[in-house]
Every structure is written in structure tokens, then in C-alpha cells.
């Protein structure tokens, strides 16, 4: 058994193309997407069209949900909303909150919230790994052995004492960002590459590979500049804020 897991594309069509090509070259047929697919100052419609061409099962992220809000006052949200037609809105509305298979559970943030971080806690010194007991509480009741999340854009694998594994594949399209809530913080992968995860089962053992893919970022950087998002420019160039 082998699957690929992507997350947090954020309208970055060039990053998504590079990742899907790598997945195809590896002969992987099953792809899961942990959400936040279209939001960003980039290419949401082109991203939607590419997602529809592959065998990709997607769930809803918090930014997918926000795109359906009537008026957020956020110019980047408005930029995407102005491009969305009824077909795109229906797709966003139909995305499930989570997906489950016999072995895997997929959510964007946590099993209870698409806005809460699964593995990281914010403090005065930035992001830190949560205590094991807190992570165990968040995934209590999940029967699957491997739990996938997204949202933080930081690739991470955490093994729990109950034998379960929590995996964040990182972000396909936005390797760093900053946020004001719950306190001001930066999330920085430290690399401008596109990230995704491959999970393979061999002889009842799970092999987890965190993959980094280089791609041509020029179009995404130009589009970010055009839409006044200097923070995205720096993130795409460096993987930092």
C-alpha cells in the first residue's frame, strides 16, 4: 500500500504541478488533500481545474470555508471570491470536514476544529511541539493508526505512546506565513520547496517520507507582487517571513 498526502496548496498551481508530476513518476495512484486549496493571491481557478484532473480526494480547510463567507474585509479573500463561479463554490461547499479509511484519518487542523493546530502550541518564543498528553486528547477516539493534519505548513511526524502516528505533510504552495492569533507568531518551514508526504506499508510497518520538490516560483512571486502581498513574495523566495 502506498499513498501520497498533500495539503495547503493555496492556489499555487506551479507547486501543485511539480508535486503531482513527482507523485505520478513514482507510480502512486492514491492522493489525499488535507485542505486550504484555493485561498491566496495566486491562481485559484487553475488550481481547482488541476485538482479535478487527478485521483485526488480533498477535504475542507479553514481557508476553504472562509472563501464562502459573505464579507470578510480581507482583500486576498475578495480577490479569490471575485474569481469564483458557481461551480467552484459548489465544490468548496461539498468538501467534507474529514476523511477516513481503514488505516488513515485526514483532517485539516484537528478532528474537532479546522482552525486549531494539532501538533504545535504558540508561546512567547514562537512555535513548540505540544505535550504528548495534549495531542493524545485531540486524537482520542480516532481508531485509525495514522492521522494526517495540515494547517501549520510545517512538515512534522509525531509518534504517540498508543502506537498512533500523526503526520503533517507541510505545504505544497506556501512554505511560511505569519498570524496574529492566538498570539502573533511566524510559521516557517525554512525552505522554498513544495512539500508533501508519501506513506508506504511494508510487512506491517509504515514508512513515512517527507518529500521536498523544487519548482519554478517566478509566476507565483510575480502574482504575489501584483496583488500587494510582499509577505507571500518573501515566503515563496525563502521559506521564511
Domain boundaries, the chain: 2-238
Going through the chain in order, the beta strands assigned E by DSSP cover 2-6, 30-33, 56-58, 99-100, 104-106, 120-123, 126-129, 146-148, 156-159, 165-168, 176-179, 185-188, 194-202, 205-213
Distance CA 108, CA 115 (A): 8
pLDDT above 90: residue 48: yes
pLDDT reported for residue 125: 67
Q: pLDDT (tens digit, 9 = 90+) per residue, 88-145?
A: 999 999 999 999 999 999 999 999 999 999 999 987 667 899 999 999 999 999 999 9
pLDDT reported for residue 31: 98
| β partners of residue 157 | 167
Cα dihedral: 170, 175, 181, 185 (round 10): 110
3-class SS of residue 232: helix
pLDDT reported for residue 124: 66
Inter-residue contact 183 to 153 (CB < 8 Å): no
Inter-residue contact 175 to 220 (CB < 8 Å): no
pLDDT above 90: residue 181: no
Biggest alpha carbon–alpha carbon distance for the chain = 52
pLDDT above 80: residue 182: no
CA distances from 122 to 118, 139, 167, 179 (A): 11, 19, 19, 11
Superfamily name and number for 2-238: Metallo-dependent phosphatases (3.60.21.10)
Q: pLDDT (tens digit, 9 = 90+) per residue, 56-95?
A: 999 999 999 999 987 778 999 999 999 999 999 999 999 9
Inter-residue contact 167 to 199 (CB < 8 Å): yes
Q: pLDDT (tens digit, 9 = 90+) per residue, 4-44?
A: 999 999 999 999 999 999 999 999 999 999 999 999 999 99
166-191 average pLDDT score: 93
Q: pLDDT (tens digit, 9 = 90+) per residue, 209-224?
A: 999 999 999 999 999 9
CA distances from 183 to 125, 127, 130, 159, 228 (A): 11, 10, 16, 27, 24
Amino acid at each position: 500500500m502506498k499513498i501520497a498526502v498533500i495539503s495547503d496548496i493555496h492556489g499555487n498551481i506551479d507547486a501543485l504541478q511539480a508535486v503531482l508530476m513527482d507523485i505520478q513518476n513514482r507510480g502512486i495512484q492514491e492522493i489525499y488533500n488535507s485542505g486550504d486549496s484555493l485561498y491566496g493571491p495566486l491562481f485559484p481557478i487553475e488550481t481547482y481545474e488541476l485538482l479535478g484532473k487527478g485521483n485526488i480526494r480533498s477535504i475542507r480547510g479553514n481557508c476553504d470555508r472562509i472563501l464562502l463567507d459573505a464579507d470578510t474585509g480581507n482583500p486576498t479573500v475578495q480577490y479569490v471570491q471575485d474569481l469564483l463561479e458557481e461551480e467552484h463554490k459548489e465544490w468548496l461547499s461539498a468538501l467534507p470536514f474529514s476523511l477516513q479509511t481503514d488505516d488513515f484519518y485526514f483532517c485539516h487542523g484537528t478532528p474537532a476544529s479546522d482552525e486549531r493546530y494539532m501538533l504545535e502550541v504558540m508561546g512567547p518564543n514562537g512555535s513548540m511541539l505540544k505535550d504528548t498528553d495534549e495531542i493524545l486528547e485531540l486524537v482520542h477516539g480516532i481508531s485509525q493508526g495514522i492521522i494526517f493534519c495540515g494547517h501549520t505548513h510545517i512538515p512534522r511526524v509525531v509518534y504517540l505512546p498508543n502506537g498512533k502516528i500523526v503526520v503533517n505533510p507541510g505545504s505544497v504552495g506556501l512554505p511560511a506565513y505569519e498570524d496574529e492569533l492566538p498570539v502573533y507568531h511566524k510559521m516557517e518551514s525554512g525552505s522554498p520547496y513544495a512539500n508533501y508526504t508519501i506513506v508506504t506499508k511494508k510487512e506491517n510497518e509504515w514508512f513515512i517520507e517527507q518529500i521536498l520538490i523544487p519548482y519554478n516560483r517566478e509566476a507565483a512571486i510575480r502574482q504575489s507582487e501584483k496583488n500587494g502581498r510582499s509577505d507571500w513574495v518573501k515566503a515563496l523566495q525563502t521559506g521564511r517571513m
